[in-house]
Amino acid sequence: MEKGAYDVNAIEKKWQEHWEANKTFKTWDPACIDPESPCDGSKPKYYVLDMFPYPSGQGLHVGHPEGYTASDIVARYKRMKGFNVLHPIGWDAFGLPAEQYAIQTGTHPAQTTQRNIDNMRRQIKSLGFSYDYDREVDTTDPNYYKWTQWIFLKFFNSYFDEAEQKARPIDELPIPEALSGEERRKYIDEHRLAYESEAPVNWCPALGTVLANEEVVGGLSERGGHPVIRKPMRQWMLRITKYCERLLEGLDEVDWPESIKKLQFDWIGKSIGAEVDFKVDGREDVIRVFTTRPDTLFGATYMVLAPEHPLVDVITTADRKAAVQQYREGASRKSDLDRTDLAKEKTGEPTGAYALNPVNGERIPIWISDYVLISYGTGAIMAVPAHDERDWEFATKFNLPIIQVVAPREPVEGCFAGEGVAVNSGDFTGLSTAEFKLKITDWLEEEGLGTRAVNYKLRDWLFSRQRYWGEPFPIIHAQDGEVVPLSEGDLPLTLPEVEDYKPMGTGEPPLAKSADWLNVTLPDGRKGTRETNTMPQWAGSCWYYLRYMDPDNAEAAFAKAKEEYWMPVDLYIGGAEHAVLHLLYSRFWHKLLYDLGYVSMPEPFKKLINQGMILGEDGQKMSKSRGNVINPDNVITQYGADSMRLYEMFMGPLEATKPWNMQGVEGVHRFLNKAWRLMVDEETGELAAAVQDVPADEATTRLLHQTIKKVGGDVESFGFNTAISQMMIFVNHMMRLDARPKDALEKFVLVLAPFAPHVAEELWQRLGHDETLAYEPWPQYDPELVKEKEIELAVQVLGKIKDKIVVAADAGEDEIKETALASEKVQAAMGGKTPKKVIVIKSRLVNIVV
RNA sequence: GCCGGAGUGGCGGAAUGGCAGACGCGCGGGAUUCAAAAUCCCGUCCUGGCAACAGGGUGUGGGUUCAAGUCCCACCUCCGGUACCA
């Protein structure tokens, strides 16, 4: 230990042990719920949540403690402000790395996971976060995933009531009387919110699993960047699309960064338009298209079907069959990556068939092309090349006619996709785009040719993975084809032991390797096999914030009374990378639980903050290959957890991306040492002689009250960096005093405590207190004492500063004016002219206009 | 392409439309020391000047205003997200 520095490691260890031994941060439910509880039920509650980490073998990186420190400061601050604070932590522990390791080494993923959790818990504890570790959850614990499976059964056993726009138990589903037996069963299965589907999916051969749309980025897997191809497979899906509208509406209620809301808004991708029927010339078949621009119907010069569209086989003429078939096969084999790459050059084939434009009877050719997606809208479009960039490109390449039907306000080259005035549009000519849309939609509805329609980009959530290390589905496939859910009493369905963890290449998951587990006999004697897919990693994180409220409950996922007390999450801090994945999925789950009456509010996360990324010292993203990774353990050993916490907050605004700088850690470490020496004698280790029971002088009192005000206000608005600056100013001031008023120092220690809790506790104790300061009331400031007595004003002439004057804080406008005009420098700058106008901004400046 | 966010000293950053650069890092000088480390004090936006001081300055160009880093318009650069969604 250097001279002038306190013994960081000893003090931090001492207090971490103290908190643990005394259960300082145990969170009690209010006495009305738990009769044993010492918690005063009249206290307001505050739920501060961190996005729980994946326990990786790498352990914590410096990005984790950033959000965790911010939330810990808020949690500690709120406790001092008299809130009953829930501040938990847990482990999002299912996931690929542990399974990949198992495939390579044969180590059970549970073992690897446990080891990683233990290491990360150690690291997190070493930072002195005030979590209630009795509430830890681990998504891989059967006592936890029992309830994940339970929620899955809720999805399975529910349908969506369109009229009420909410989920209801499947028993309440109205079933057409005519149906019975197999048909009836099929009807019910088709309405479940969890359903099976044989659909083309994102298959990643390298990972041996399918991926959700959200996990595929630019045709490559989000994890690992492996190619992804489309392949039809049987999969479990969750009907998130039923909730599009409510997921959009809910965004209005929450206090989230606008950018995140917009990301979700765009991901859901609502578009309003019309569906229009085009008759196929010479046939009874009708092609239905979706368009957001029904006002351009007169400009539709051809149609395009997605290669997978069911009518392609029906309408293709004999002479086109071979070419069309070849194109379809090519498209189906293309990976998403290829499709994206080839996006620059449009391809397609005419089917030989023609359609009739419903507005003018024009005969227009029908093509197929992979620029039309089967999964959006109706899988078919009317092409209006004059007013759609993609159609323009296609029409230009294949020499298809282009007819202008919208006149732009100012002439433009090429395609015009904006709004304007209709031309070449029969009776509708002359209408504005907006008017046209309304009129033509009405007309289409009257004529029975179309209808207004809404489409969403969001697709149903592909909810199964061909992996070992995930929650097993509580589902049995009976021999006769019926899908039978386990009863709630049979949960949890635990993972079987298997000899090895490799997927079977064919897409058959590793669970199929365990025959004992796989084959079952149902209570009614039928034989069946268990579902061998497992749930995706997102499943466990969809509801963990609810389990924290009641982590040991064996009877329910959580008790209703506890949910009513603690929810919603008042503050949720985590990385922006979860903007559309975790945050959308968990909102969806929450809404199901809300519909079924298990939770009391439709939105789980009231306020959301994204911490920014921390870059390496070279300003680049931290990565092993660049060798610029900062290991928190090393920083803590060298400078201590308090310095680590303080530095992470001092670097800049929480949301910003900012580079690490080891010398900056030194800087805050010096500040803590200074604060220490303010109160402790370096030589003797006793309380410094300068610490005295004397009243603070005026300047000190004022600065103290300013500091209490500033730090409190900054914590409330998450401006941690400026709060720390203010504390530095206070310490710099106190250092100069020979007699340091003890009362002011005590208040300062309390203010410092949420940021640097270890050193604050130690100083608090040395100042003569026996109890932890964690529940000491946050010091109050007196608004009167915050005010300066005398203030310096800048005096400007024509906006340029010429002099500074000092006046009493309560000086009137006239007095200030007089003082300002009396200044020699001001007189000189005015050059004898008379002031035209004198602007006095109290406590700021004076501007003289001549 | 489109959608976000950001451009302020050598660096991280601070500034309800009101004194640009708080606080910290770094750097320069001094004190202390046999010396160093640590600590303390002074200085540190740029240009000119010994100095008092003068002039310039928040990516670029315009505008609004008594007053613009902050508001408006156009543009440039960087970072992040996204990709044929009709």
Å from the A390 CA to the B60 C1': 35
A343: pLDDT strictly greater than 70: no
Taking each helix axis from N to C end, the angle separating A757-766 and A641-650, rounded to the nearest 10 degrees, works out to 120
How would residue A825 be classed by pLDDT, with cut points 50, 70 and 90? confident
Q: What is the pLDDT of residue A676?
A: 95
A483-485 and A475-478: which strand pairing? antiparallel
The answer to whether the beta carbons of residues A453 and A293 sit under 8 Å apart is: no
Q: Which residues contact A771 (CB under 8 A, 6 or more apart)?
A: none
Å from the A18 CA to the B36 C1': 39
Which nucleotide is at minimal CA–C1' distance from A836?
B66
Region A353-377: what's the mean pLDDT? 93
Region A44-48: what's the mean pLDDT? 97
For residue A751, the Cα-to-chain-centroid distance in whole angstroms is 31
Nearest residue, CA→C1' of B81 = A263
Q: Report H helices in A680-823.
A: 698-716, 720-735, 742-752, 757-766, 783-786, 813-822
Q: What is the pLDDT of residue A1?
A: 47
DSSP letter string, A121-152:
HHHHHTTT----GGG-EETTSHHHHHHHHHHH
A342: pLDDT strictly greater than 70: no
Could you give phi then psi for residue A819, rounded to 5 degrees? -60, -40
Structure tokens at A230: 């489309």
Å from the A219 CA to the B83 C1': 10
Which nucleotide is at minimal CA–C1' distance from A272?
B86
Of the candidates A534, A466, A468, A465, the residue with the CA atom closest to the CA atom of residue A106: A468
Å from the A650 CA to the B56 C1': 32
Which nucleotide is at minimal CA–C1' distance from A270?
B85
Which nucleotide is at minimal CA–C1' distance from A735?
B40
Region A437-458: what's the mean pLDDT? 94
Region A653-675: what's the mean pLDDT? 94
Q: What is the pLDDT of residue A214?
A: 66
Q: How far apart are CA A96 and CA A215, in angstroms?
A: 13
The answer to whether the beta carbons of residues A571 and A47 sit under 8 Å apart is: yes
A408: pLDDT strictly greater than 60: yes
Which nucleotide is at minimal CA–C1' distance from A724?
B23
Which nucleotide is at minimal CA–C1' distance from A271?
B85
Q: Which residues contact A183 (CB under 8 A, 6 or more apart)?
A: none
Å from the A647 CA to the B15 C1': 21
pLDDT in tens, A217-259: 766 777 777 777 777 788 899 999 999 999 999 999 999 998 8
- A666, containing H or E segment: helix A662-679
Q: How far apart are CA A34 and CA A458, in angstroms?
A: 43
Region A46-57: what's the mean pLDDT? 95
Region A28-57: what's the mean pLDDT? 90
Nearest residue, CA→C1' of B15 = A722
Q: How far apart are CA A117 and CA A697, in angstroms?
A: 52
Higher-confidence residue: A374 or A729?
A729
How would residue A344 be classed by pLDDT, with cut points 50, 70 and 90? low
Å from the A665 CA to the B67 C1': 39
Q: How far apart are CA A94 and CA A141, in angstroms?
A: 10
Q: What is the pLDDT of residue A218?
A: 67
- Per-residue CA distances from A207 to A202, A223, A495, A506, A803 (Å): 11, 9, 20, 12, 71
Å from the A722 CA to the B15 C1': 11
Å from the A799 CA to the B68 C1': 11
Which nucleotide is at minimal CA–C1' distance from A373?
B85
Å from the A710 CA to the B14 C1': 14
- Per-residue CA distances from A684 to A614, A677, A734, A741 (Å): 40, 11, 20, 20
Q: Give the whole-number percent of chain A exceeding pLDDT 90.
A: 70
How would residue A502 be classed by pLDDT, with cut points 50, 70 and 90? confident
The answer to whether the beta carbons of residues A70 and A77 sit under 8 Å apart is: no
Nearest residue, CA→C1' of B4 = A259
Nearest residue, CA→C1' of B13 = A652
Q: Tell me whether the omega of the peptide bond preceding residue A568 falls within 30 degrees of 0, making it cis.
A: yes
Which nucleotide is at minimal CA–C1' distance from A726?
B23
Å from the A596 CA to the B77 C1': 52
For residue A685, give the amino acid letter: G
For residue A757, give the amino acid letter: P
Q: What is the pLDDT of residue A832?
A: 77
Nearest residue, CA→C1' of B12 = A651
A638: pLDDT strictly greater than 70: yes
For residue A316, give the amino acid letter: T
ipTM: 0.95
As ranges, strand B nucleotides with an atom below 7 A of a protein CB are: 3-5, 11-16, 18-20, 22-26, 37-41, 54-56, 66-68, 79-86
Å from the A803 CA to the B49 C1': 21
Q: How far apart are CA A46 and CA A519, in angstroms?
A: 48
Q: Report H helices in A161-284.
A: 181-191, 244-250, 258-268
A4: pLDDT strictly greater than 70: no
Higher-confidence residue: A195 or A34?
A195
Nearest residue, CA→C1' of B65 = A799
Which nucleotide is at minimal CA–C1' distance from A843?
B18
Q: How far apart are CA A275 and CA A450, in angstroms?
A: 5
pLDDT in tens, A679-736: 999 888 889 999 999 999 999 999 999 999 999 999 999 999 999 999 999 999 999 9
Å from the A715 CA to the B23 C1': 17
- A483, containing H or E segment: strand A483-485
Q: What is the pLDDT of residue A554?
A: 95
For residue A541, the Cα-to-chain-centroid distance in whole angstroms is 12
pLDDT in tens, A289-338: 999 999 999 999 999 999 989 999 999 999 999 999 999 988 877 665 56
How would residue A374 be classed by pLDDT, with cut points 50, 70 and 90? confident
Structural domains in chain A plus CATH codes? 8-147+538-615 (3.40.50.620), 150-245+460-530 (no CATH), 270-456 (3.90.740.10), 641-785 (1.10.730.10), 788-849 (3.10.20.590)
A130: pLDDT strictly greater than 90: yes
The answer to whether the beta carbons of residues A305 and A312 sit under 8 Å apart is: yes
Q: Give the whole-number percent of chain A exceeding pLDDT 70.
A: 97
A356: pLDDT strictly greater than 90: yes
Which nucleotide is at minimal CA–C1' distance from A792?
B19
Q: What is the pLDDT of residue A607?
A: 94
- Per-residue CA distances from A223 to A211, A212, A338, A514 (Å): 10, 12, 19, 28
Cβ density class A498-511: b for 16+ within 10 Å, e for less: beebebeeebebbb
Å from the A416 CA to the B4 C1': 25
pLDDT in tens, A81-124: 999 999 999 999 998 889 889 988 999 999 999 999 999 999 99
